[in-house]
A and B are shown apart, each in its own frame.
Chain A
Amino acid sequence: MKGQAAQAREDRAFEEEVRGHIVMLEERYRARGMSPAEAATAARRQFGNATVLRERQSAQRGFLSPGEWGRDVRFGMRMLAKRPLSNAAVVVALALGIGMNAAVFTFVNALLLRPPQGVANTGHLVEVWLHDPKGSGVQSYWPFSYPDYAYYRDHARSVEGLMAFDGDGTNAIWNHAGVGQVLQGQLVSGNFFSLAGVSAVAGRMLAASDDQPGSAHPVVVLSSSFWKEKLGGDPAVVGRSLMLDGTAFTVVGVAPARFTGLVVGAQPDFWAPIAVQEKFTHDQGRITDRDSYWLIVAGKMRNAGDRNSVQAEMHVLAKQVYPEHGSKETFHDAIVYPLTLVPGPFRGYVGAFTGLLLVVFALVLLIACTNAAGLLLARATGRAREMATRAALGAGRARLIRQMLVESLLLAGIAGAAGIAVAWVSSRLILGLKPAELPITLEIPLDWRVVLFTVAVSAATGVVFGLAPALRASAAEAAGVLKEETQTAGRKKSRLRSALIVAQMATCVVLLAGAALCVRSLLNANAIAPGFDTQHIALASLDPGSLGYSQEQVDDFYARLLDRVHSLPGVRSASYAGFLPLGTAREETSIARTLGKHPDAIVDVFRVTPGFFATMGIPLLRGRDLARNEVESKTPDAVVINEVLARRLWPGEDALGKRVVLGDDKTMSEVVGVVGNGRYHTLGEGPVAVVFRGQLPPARTLVTRGAGDSRALVAGIQHQVPLVDPLMAATQVQTIEQYMALPLFPARATGWLLGVSGILAVVMTGTGLFGVIACVVSQRTHEIGVRMALGARPSDVMNLVMGQGLWLTGIGLAIGLCAAFASARLLAPLLYGIDPNDPATMIAVAVGLGAIALSACYLPARKAMGVDPSVALRYE
């Protein structure tokens, strides 16, 4: 492509050539005896029309030459500025459409496309997950136990190395000048930073030598934000010592500011070697425990794009690891994924969810496009004269199409720029929907991928809505238009516009039906019974184990805290649980009816203290609650089970008094009570078998039930903890309503986004229909005038206009309903307690849209009724 300067040079050169030619012709005529004036005229006649030539020459030099485009852009700007209001309306609609697409894409980008920040070897990094071939869905994927990781690390040859890190993170209490602060840490293998390619901004990162068991001098690496915010960016931080959970750690370095780890969901303050794990959790056997799956494993491939050979080797290792260890586990396959912020097994879900949203907002954009196309079409009719004149003056068809396309691309370009702003704002609003408890810090920058996506969408939009009007306008028959033959809009033109209305209406039905279903499902989900009360309860997470307390000290702390909480005003009851249902934590075990026999089922385990069921409002159907001695006994002897498990193990019998063996237990436990079923992992799940037992870990959740507002309880509990033990701090002190925001998040986010899309669709469709009908009326003013002059009553005119609008609406509704029935099934997995083809929703959508269409047609029809025949006929 030639530059604009080169283009101008060409123009000047050609100008000079032409001038020289004409001058030589003049000289020749003068030599034959003509006067200078005669000679000039004759010369010009002989040369022909220099202006047309110049235009044609310029056009031939390059359809895409920038100089020509520049001229078209300037002309287009002038044309757009002529109708600021209607153009602004189109730009706003398009900007919303483009912006919402870009906003969703921002998340796709942040979660699935962007490699983790601050990591050098992104092209080479993979992650490995264990997969239980007998299971299904996300829950069949597991992280690694330390012994399994060690085996893979020592035997894998297709990678430079395998690293591991603590997927859930590790909390630690930092004793900062006598005041306890909770810090978030991540345990990583010694090779973590060298394999990921992260180098220190001060000091050094961890090395393999730091990750030796029994290391006498535990070390940590600090995150840049912790170093700056909590330590004031102390330049002498390297070598300084931090008291974490009662152990002195030496700071060896500071990580770069951009690096926040390899998975979404954590923003550690510090990184410590896996070998010092026991200093933090007092979970003594974790490094040797084969049944504790807690490490996310990642590897650096020798060559980028070598994933298949790594996968092949992992399959082989997966077959060897358990037999060689003599483990009772049968087989877990190892699956390799490229490393992004969302762990491999979950990527499909995130992709499907964001993909669905992209489809939805693409439909919204399509509606905005049809609006814009309708407006440009109407305008093209008005500009038929201009186009015909330009064609008569020698502009080629390609030239006219280009002029029109430049105008629509200008509109789309302005809308795209505004769309970036919309995306910036709305992506932050969407992030705001995320419950604060969801431990995710996600960067959603508008990086080059998002900008590229927006530019591509805008350009495609401009062509989509601009091409049809451009082709139509450029096809204007110069002679016909100039002779003013077409007073009524051409049939072809109105057919295209009718098709647009029908398509728009149909798309709107699909979107609105989807939105209505999701909003209703959201209402249902809010009303769904999780099996416990979602009011009057306050929660607090505590971990005295992190202070290095013995079991007796832990028990003593919890007993004293419970006494204190009980004495708070308004408290009905209080108890502890290891963790609550519908959270992120999970424990599973096998259950058997006979000691030493093959297990009958896999069940979820919740560890609770007496009073838990009453506090949570879980109904005790038969039998009794666990007793204090049963909960605290080292040898478990009593459990409470839920109805699902009771029916599964002893169908038709009473489960009370029956005996079971849990996992590796050497003794049997008696079923002392049966409680009502609930939801334990997600609100949408099917029946889950659950065992409640005692033997709680040091890390617990305090559950308190009050008479009134749970927010009042929260403040009270927060206040009590340091009174019981000044070194302790409670984390995640919250009401049950806040806690429930997490399980409700998927439904809530979908409901919000689809609700927004539905509203946008309705508004755009309504204004689009209104605009087209109004335009048709103004173009048919003459015809309506004639009809009225010939005796048509105002009601006939009304029927004429309304009839046309409603006929199109009807067709659109019918097509849309068919499409909605067909596509609603895609939404089924996200819906709670509502059939995807719920007839009431569909009817309501059709009736509502019909009503909107009616009013959109009514206003222009009113105007048409008021047409004064004498004025209409005089107006030519």
Chain B
Amino acid sequence: MAADKKSEVLQGTLDLMVLKTLYAMGSQHGFGIARRIEQVSDGVLDLNEGTVYTALLRLQQQGWIASKWGTSENNRRARFYSITRQGAKQLERETENWERVAGVIDRVLRLERQG
């Protein structure tokens, strides 16, 4: 149950992270996305890597990413995901939104410290 809840909290942000990763790295498979997030988060995020696939399916259903089968760097069949034009626009909106919210939270937290 506990792990389940953690992924719920992560849900919104995981989508954003996956989207951004695909935007930054181009076409990538699920394992590669998980590695990239692990690398960037520097081990801070305790990620159930399976949930990446939930995010991928969700994004795909929204039409923000597309997928096709290909061969990975070590010659294994893998599904490669890439961001669509719609997805890029969505990423822009989500990033703005995130920054706004993060800014607010940041200010609120600072207020508390002063009080």
Contacts and interface: CB of A to CB of B under 8 A. Distances in A.
A17 B58 contact: no
Interface in B41-77: 48-51, 53-54, 57-58, 61, 72, 76-77
A48 B51 contact: yes
Given A49-B3, A53-B50, A60-B54, A16 B77 contact: yes
Contacts of A49: 3, 48, 50
Contacts of B79: 13, 17
A48 B10 CA distance: 14
Contacts of B72: 20
A25 B49 contact: yes
Interface string A387-420: 0000000100000000000000000000000000
A16 B78 CA distance: 8
Contact of B54 (A17, A21, A56): A56
Interface in A47-62: 47-50, 52-53, 56-57, 60-61
Contact of A57 (B3, B4, B57, B77): B57
A139 interface: no
Interface string A537-576: 0000000000000000000000000000000000000000
A46 B77 contact: no
Contacts of A61: 57
B98 interface: no
A21 B57 contact: no
Nearest to A28: B35
Contact of A21 (B3, B7, B34, B61): B34
Given A48-B3, A49-B3, A20 B31 contact: yes
Contacts of A438: none
Given A14-B53, A61-B57, A21 B48 contact: no
A811 interface: no
Contacts of A52: 4
A56 B57 CA distance: 11
Contacts of B58: 60
Interface string B76-104: 11110000000000000000000000000
Given A47-B48, A48-B3, A60-B61, A20 B76 contact: yes
A763 interface: no
Nearest to A56: B54
A51 to B, nearest CB: 10
Given A24-B31, A60-B57, A60-B61, A18 B50 contact: yes
A711 to B, nearest CB: 78
Size category of the B interface is: 20 to 34
Interface string B3-23: 110010000000000000000
Contacts of B78: 17, 20
A68 to B, nearest CB: 15
A397 B78 CA distance: 33
A13 B58 CA distance: 16
B77 A53 contact: no
Contacts of B54: 53, 56-57, 60
A25 B35 CA distance: 10
Nearest to B78: A20
A46 to B, nearest CB: 6
B77 A20 contact: yes
Contacts of B7: 48
A57 B60 CA distance: 12
B76 A48 contact: no
Nearest to A27: B74
Contacts of A57: 53-54, 57
A46 B57 CA distance: 20
A368 to B, nearest CB: 41
Nearest to A13: B79
Contact of B31 (A21, A50, A60): A21
B49 A50 contact: no
A25 B79 CA distance: 16
A21 B61 CA distance: 21
Contact of B53 (A17, A23, A24, A394): A17
Given A13-B79, A16-B77, A20-B76, A48 B49 contact: yes
A50 B52 CA distance: 12
Given A16-B77, A21-B34, A48 B50 contact: yes
Interface in A712-765: none
B55 to A, nearest CB: 11
Instruction: Please indicate which of the listed interface residues A16, A23, A24 has the most CB atoms of chain B within 10 Å of its own CB.
Output: A24
A13 B7 CA distance: 23
A48 B30 contact: no
Instruction: Please indicate which of the listed interface residues B30, B53, B79 has the most CB atoms of chain A within 10 Å of its own CB.
Output: B53
Interface of B: 3-4, 7, 30-31, 34, 48-51, 53-54, 57-58, 61, 72, 76-79
Give the top 7 A-B pairs by smallest Cβ distance, nearest first.
A48-B48, A48-B50, A53-B50, A24-B31, A21-B31, A47-B49, A47-B50
20 contacts: A13-B79, A16-B77, A17-B30, A17-B53, A17-B79, A20-B31, A20-B72, A20-B76, A23-B76, A25-B31, A47-B48, A48-B3, A48-B7, A48-B48, A50-B50, A56-B54, A60-B54, A60-B57, A60-B61, A394-B4
Given A16-B77, A53-B54, 8 more contacts: A14-B53, A18-B50, A20-B76, A25-B49, A47-B49, A48-B48, A60-B58, A61-B57
